[in-house]
A and B are shown apart, each in its own frame.
Chain A
Amino acid sequence: MSLSMILLTIAFFFYLVATVLYAVSVTGRKWRNKEGRVTGNNWGLFGYITAIGGLVFALGYFVTRWITVGFAPVSNMFEYLTFFGITLSLAFVIIYGIYRSNVLGVITLPVVMLMIGYATVFVTDYQPLQPALQTYWLEIHVLTTGLAQGILAVSFGAGVIYLLRTIDLKGKKMTKRTFGVEFIMYTFMTLFAFIVLTNAFNAFGYEAQFAYVNEFEEPAEIIYDLPPIFGPNEGELLSSDRMEPWFEMPDWIDSDSLNTTAWAFGSGLVLFGAVRLITRRRIGTLLQPFVKRVNPDLMDEISYRAIAIGFPLFALGGLVFAMIWAQIAWTRFWGWDPKEVWALITFLFYAAYLHLRLNRSWQGEPSAWLAVVGFAIIMINLIFVNLVIAGLHSYA
């Protein structure tokens, strides 16, 4: 393993320890009260120091990889998702410095780990830069945008805490709000299950090779990295000791992607269902002990503050720098490429958020839901637009 990957692994464990420390700090206070004396709680400080340690190692990864490849490592899915995780932890470190909210660490640092974990699903080897990316504008545009997205993601973390704190999740009846919270939980469990699954099959070197007939009615071959539930059109299994597909797909469906998607959502569902069955409670309620003492008004403010900091930065990196570079590399500052459109959508969405906040009735819970949607839009632009929609930005 290269030095940069070692540093990233160390950073990952620092984030893990920091999460635990923060979790102890928010639940720990309660125990002290029972003893009848409040001696203060230093776990949050330890958590903060550990989180900064994680950030330092993560930046170590970033710098060493930069030195090796000769450009900022933000040019493919692995590199960008990792960078996004790092900027989220950086944004957390900054905002924690302002508000000292321990619970924010309990929620955002796991997101950081999930992002870095998800990044490893993609190719982690060094890849060369295509001509359009060989310029310092790569650093100027992508680093600014990534930092802005990391800061905006903190608003999501604070928003989720607000929702967990204020929404009654214990009631028997399912409402739109309980469903919403559970859906957020399910999404993250899906991501978690998928990361574990792909890394596990990867570790055992799982591969199932098929000969099949593609959409041009020509013979082709394909390798599955996960067991084939959905097999390719007229597929014939070439690897031995691998299971036969349960379903054969017609030629116009990208069966490998469908299979991967099915595994991701299916395993998420199994994990979600198992936890629900064992605990007999909503997943959200399992997190509620951490948010019990939270002042919701403060969470609302943190969420808003993160957007107030991140929004101008996003406009700068995601639109202005993007336009300048597009004019230099692609001859036009704006070309309605899907990534550009989704950057505009992100910008417009947060603009709508800021205008809605002028109205006091949109502060608090509605605002928190909007922060969740904003994060979803960022994720769509980061993952969906890159992997599914073809465009100039599809590098991975």
Chain B
Amino acid sequence: MNKNCECGRVNPYGTEVCGSCGKPLADPDSNRLLNMRYEGAARRSQIYSTSIIDKIWNFFSSVKVGIGIIIVTIIASSLGTIFPQEMFMPPGETPEVYYEEEYGGLGQVYYALGLHNMYGSWWYMLLIAALGTSIIIASIDRFFPLYKALKSQRVTRHKSFMKRQRIFGTSRVEDVDHTFQAAQDILKKKRYNIREENGHILAEKNRWARWGPYVNHIGLIIFLIGASLRFFPGMYVDENMWVREGETEVVPGTSGDYYVENQGFTYEEFDEDDEIFADGMEASAALQFEETFRTDAVLYRPEGPLGVDQELEEVDRHPIEVNDAFHFDDYTLYQVDYKLDELKELSFEVEDTETDEVVGSFTVDLNDPDDTYALDNGEDVRINSYFPNFYMNDENMPTTENDVPDNPAFIFEMANPDTEALDHTFLGIQANYNVSPDQEENRYEFSLDGFDTNDLTGLTVRKDNTIPYLSVGGAIFLIGLVQGSYWPHRRIWLQRKDGEVWLAAHTNKHWAPLKKDIDAITKETGITAPRDQIDDEYEKGEDKDNS
């Protein structure tokens, strides 16, 4: 059911302001200010509401709903920062225990509600998806009607359109033609585009700024789509690796295509007597001020036929630091962590208790111990058991926590030439037990003679093929945001009505600068200053308050 306007234009059903002459169609007899949003054009969401699709469309096209989703997202996001998320928990903790122990009853509730792992939860994702849907539908619902309305607007305006603009005034001038010419020149200087029709003038600038919101919404959608691509296989790698100095490890997440060698790790702290920073460091609660940590990394690729004899060939080398990662192929190696002075080798001395003579010594590589070590006197030491990270378990048996040699302990085995039996010696750091089953004295006594340490570097392996999409989306978003924010769309209508000059003006934002433009006209021509009808309304309100 379309509406015919008196100017001859056929406006689609739901139009509030004629797209051609501006005649108010929704409430023609009112004298309230016209609602100029979307130029009073008809939007799909206001026309159809019968089918399910219409209802969904109408729901998501509503700005109110969009704002509602934003507010719920804000509240949800802030709840997730009350206590640390699960991913920031210290390693080795279990969330069930951690939140209760650390934060008491509130922590328990926090965990029970799932807020400890909120940003990856299905409902948070759903919220973001709803936001995306709202952005798409609301934009489509508005862009096309607005575009058509601004494109089809005629210069000649209906009287009541003029009267019902926020800025409106009439004036009598001596020579209308001359006045219009002068006004035109002034507005042209202010970079307005001038259109003339039947002696009327429309001066308009920055219409393109009106597309800004739609451009930035397109950018946001591309960004959100880009972010969701992460869940497709092959798009994203997030792995961690530890490499000891001098060692070469396969880079996880690269399907064995790459190996990385840690040729040396450097760690430096700020000098605590530094001329500039000494006072600041002393005043701070921090115990150490790290200046640099760096891995001299070499990248290798296995070459030759698959199998045991593959040789590693150097591809590239790069000193990796925080803020200076190692890029290769689709991958990036980041410096994220380190462990200084991890035990690497322990040296032992063996003494014959009968002669009190040292009969030999040997050095154990803690990351790769040998089975036996030969002593100078021809005897062999065998490693019966090795506990890299030793502790006594509940049954009072020695065992190890993991493979990291933080607290190494050994059970050595040696043949006793006197008894022909095997002597067992348990030796750890600051721990020495006799574990021989018969509790007899061992002939040979072991003692720790020396140690050597090295550093480990903690690297993160990252591949993120979503970044190009995010960059494009982000760039479009910013362009649209600037386009829509930094240029206001202004229109000034000058019309000849009833032998008078009628002036009306509209802008989508910032009225004070628009008024300045109009002031320039009224100052130079016989046109009198128009009124800001919102101020009038306000003053009326004030009078009421005072009485």
Chain A interface (Cβ < 8 Å from any Cβ of B):
68-69, 98-99, 123, 125-128, 130-132, 134-135, 137, 252, 295-298, 301, 304-305, 308-309, 311-312, 315-316, 320, 323, 327-333, 335-336, 338, 341-342, 344-345, 348-349, 351-352, 355-356, 358-360, 385, 389-391
Contact = CB atoms under 8 A, between A and B. Distances in A.
25 contacts: A98-B512, A123-B283, A123-B284, A126-B276, A126-B277, A128-B277, A128-B289, A131-B323, A296-B538, A304-B509, A308-B485, A308-B510, A312-B482, A327-B464, A329-B323, A333-B470, A336-B119, A341-B80, A341-B119, A342-B81, A348-B77, A349-B74, A352-B70, A356-B67, A358-B37
Nearest to A138: B323
Nearest to A335: B87
A276 B501 CA distance: 56
Residue from the set B77, B321, B332, B511 with the largest chain A CB neighbour count within 10 Å: B77
A297 B336 CA distance: 53
B512 A312 contact: no
B486 to A, nearest CB: 7
Contact of A69 (B119, B238, B276, B478): B276
A392 to B, nearest CB: 9
B74 A312 contact: no
Contact of B485 (A68, A312, A385): A312
B509 A308 contact: yes
B528 interface: no
A348 B74 contact: yes
Interface secondary structure of A, over-half rule: helix
A132 B292 CA distance: 9
A369 to B, nearest CB: 14
B81 A385 contact: yes
Nearest to A295: B535
A331 B334 CA distance: 6
A146 to B, nearest CB: 18
Residue from the set A132, A298, A352 with the largest chain B CB neighbour count within 10 Å: A352
Given A137-B323, A309-B486, A331-B332, A131 B292 contact: yes
B477 interface: yes
Interface string B498-519: 0000000000011111000000
Given A135-B323, A348-B73, A390-B84, A316 B280 contact: no
A389 B81 contact: yes
Given A305-B509, A348-B74, A358-B63, 19 more contacts: A68-B276, A99-B512, A125-B277, A125-B283, A127-B277, A128-B291, A131-B321, A131-B323, A134-B323, A252-B104, A297-B535, A298-B512, A304-B509, A309-B486, A315-B477, A329-B322, A331-B325, A355-B67, A360-B35
B490 interface: no
A48 B304 CA distance: 75
A125 B486 contact: no
B106 to A, nearest CB: 12
Contacts of A123: 280, 283-284
Nearest to B82: A389
Contact of B280 (A127, A296, A338): A127
A224 to B, nearest CB: 15
Contact of A301 (B276, B325, B485, B511): B511
B274 A128 contact: yes
Interface string B27-67: 00000000101000000000000000000000000010011
A372 B322 CA distance: 38
Nearest to A327: B467
Contacts of B85: 336
Contact of A336 (B80, B460, B510): B80
A70 B148 CA distance: 55
Given A336-B87, A356-B67, A301 B322 contact: no
Contact of B284 (A127, A348, A359): A127
B486 A301 contact: no
B70 A351 contact: yes
Contacts of B478: 312, 315-316, 320
Contacts of A345: 74, 77-78
A64 to B, nearest CB: 13
Nearest to B37: A358
Contact of B512 (A301, A351, A352): A301
Contacts of A344: 77
Which 5 pairs show the lowest CB-CB distances between chains A and B? Answer: A125-B280, A127-B280, A125-B279, A131-B322, A338-B81
A301 B510 contact: yes
B280 A126 contact: yes
B164 to A, nearest CB: 14
B265 to A, nearest CB: 14
B508 to A, nearest CB: 10
Contacts of A125: 277, 279-280, 283
B187 interface: no
Contacts of A69: 276-277
B474 to A, nearest CB: 5
B417 to A, nearest CB: 51
A375 to B, nearest CB: 15
Given A135-B323, A352-B67, A352-B74, A128 B509 contact: no
Contacts of B481: 311-312, 315
A363 to B, nearest CB: 9
